[in-house]
């Protein structure tokens, strides 16, 4: 049994509830014992780094200091939170004057996707994959912060990453090649310039359809919300109305490992994924 600290962040306690549930579910099956960070607070997200650099370091550092009390690594499924933690670790080194007390780096922070793509986890996953996702064509959508900036994420192939593609292939799915893996969906502009997000999201959705994918897979709460909920006016090149389900990668891991609560997670999606999985004989 591996012990790890879990930082959920605000979205996983709200609109990305199925990401929280599926992340906890697959961690348990892979014998990772999660300890939710007690008294965690918001990482500050886009709003802090856009408005106040010192605050954008101080808010994540508060949580890093809490996590540093325990001798275990911290896993962050929300890639926006993860990015702020990595940026704060760097910012605290470059600008110690931002903090009232010096920051001592005690905790290793991992993005959940990177954590599960690590070789020991992959080996465990191989032995636990009971129901391979045969016949399911997935478009792996990394978005921005899972890969950029590369000096924070450590991802070398940041223009054409393939670690999520390999993870999906281990689960038995077919990862289709496509060129929108790391294009931006517009993220938090959804609140203020919804028009921009609709344009960007629909481009990503239609490119995944054009690449022959049955569904999109992501590990970002903003990407999932934007892609899952902005499909009302989606149509393909010949004008046909089409929808394409958007999964969290943890949901497909849970499905392949035969987790009992997959249906509950999937019932929270706005774009129905259950019909697709039933038609493929996977659910």
* DSSP for 41-61, written as a single string: ----HHHHHHH-HHHHHHHHH
> Under DSSP, is residue 35 helix (H, G, I), strand (E, B) or coil?
strand
Size of the site for other proteins (CB under 8 A): 56
- Which member of 106, 118, 150, 160 binds other proteins (CB under 8 A)? 150
Confirm or reject binding of residue 154 to other proteins (CB under 8 A).
no
Binding of other proteins by 196 (CB under 8 A): yes
CA 164/CA 250 separation, integer angstroms: 11
Decide: is 76 part of the binding site for other proteins (CB under 8 A): no
Return the range that interacts with other proteins (CB under 8 A); candidates 106-114, 130-138, 188-196, 239-247: 188-196
- Separation of alpha carbons 149 and 141, rounded Å: 16
Q: In angstroms, rounded to a whole number, what is the distance separating the alpha carbons of residues 44 and 18?
A: 22
37 binds other proteins (CB under 8 A): no
Number of H helices, E strands in the chain: 14, 8
| Rounded-to-integer distance, Cα 231 and Cα 271, Å | 8
Nearer to other proteins, 129 or 188 (CB): 188
Residue 97 engages other proteins in binding (rule: CB under 8 A)? yes
Nearer to other proteins, 32 or 269 (CB): 269
Residues that bind other proteins (CB under 8 A): 10-11, 13-17, 39-42, 44-55, 58-59, 62, 97-100, 144, 148-150, 158-159, 182-184, 186-189, 191-196, 199-200, 229, 267-270
């Amino acid at each position: 049994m591996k012990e790890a600290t879990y930082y959920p962040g605000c979205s996983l306690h709200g609109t990305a509830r199925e990401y929280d549930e599926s992340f906890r579910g697959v961690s348990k099956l892979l014998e990772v014992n999660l300890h939710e960070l007690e008294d965690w607070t918001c990482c500050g997200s886009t709003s802090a780094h856009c408005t106040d650099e010192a605050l954008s370091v101080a808010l994540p550092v508060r949580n890093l200091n809490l996590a540093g009390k325990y001798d275990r690594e911290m896993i962050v499924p929300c890639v926006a939170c993860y990015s702020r933690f990595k940026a704060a670790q760097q910012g605290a080194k470059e600008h110690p004057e931002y903090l009232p007390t010096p920051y001592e780096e005690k905790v290793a922070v991992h993005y959940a996707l990177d954590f599960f793509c690590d070789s020991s986890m992959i080996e465990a996953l191989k032995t636990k994959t009971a129901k391979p996702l045969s016949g399911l064509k997935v478009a792996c959508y990394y978005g921005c912060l899972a890969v950029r900036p590369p000096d924070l994420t450590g991802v070398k192939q940041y223009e054409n990453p393939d670690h999520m593609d390999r993870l999906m292939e281990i689960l038995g799915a077919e990862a289709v090649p496509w060129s929108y893996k790391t294009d931006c969906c517009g993220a938090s502009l959804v609140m203020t310039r919804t028009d921009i997000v609709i344009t960007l999201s629909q481009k990503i959705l239609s490119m995944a359809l054009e690449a022959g994918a049955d569904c999109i897979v992501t590990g970002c709460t903003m990407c999932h919300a934007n892609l899952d909920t902005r499909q009302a006016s989606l149509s393909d090149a010949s004008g046909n109305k089409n929808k394409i389900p958007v999964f969290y990668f943890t949901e497909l891991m849970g499905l392949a490992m035969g987790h009992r609560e997959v249906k509950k997670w999937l019932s929270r999606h706005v774009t129905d994924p259950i019909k697709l999985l039933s038609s493929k004989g996977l659910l």
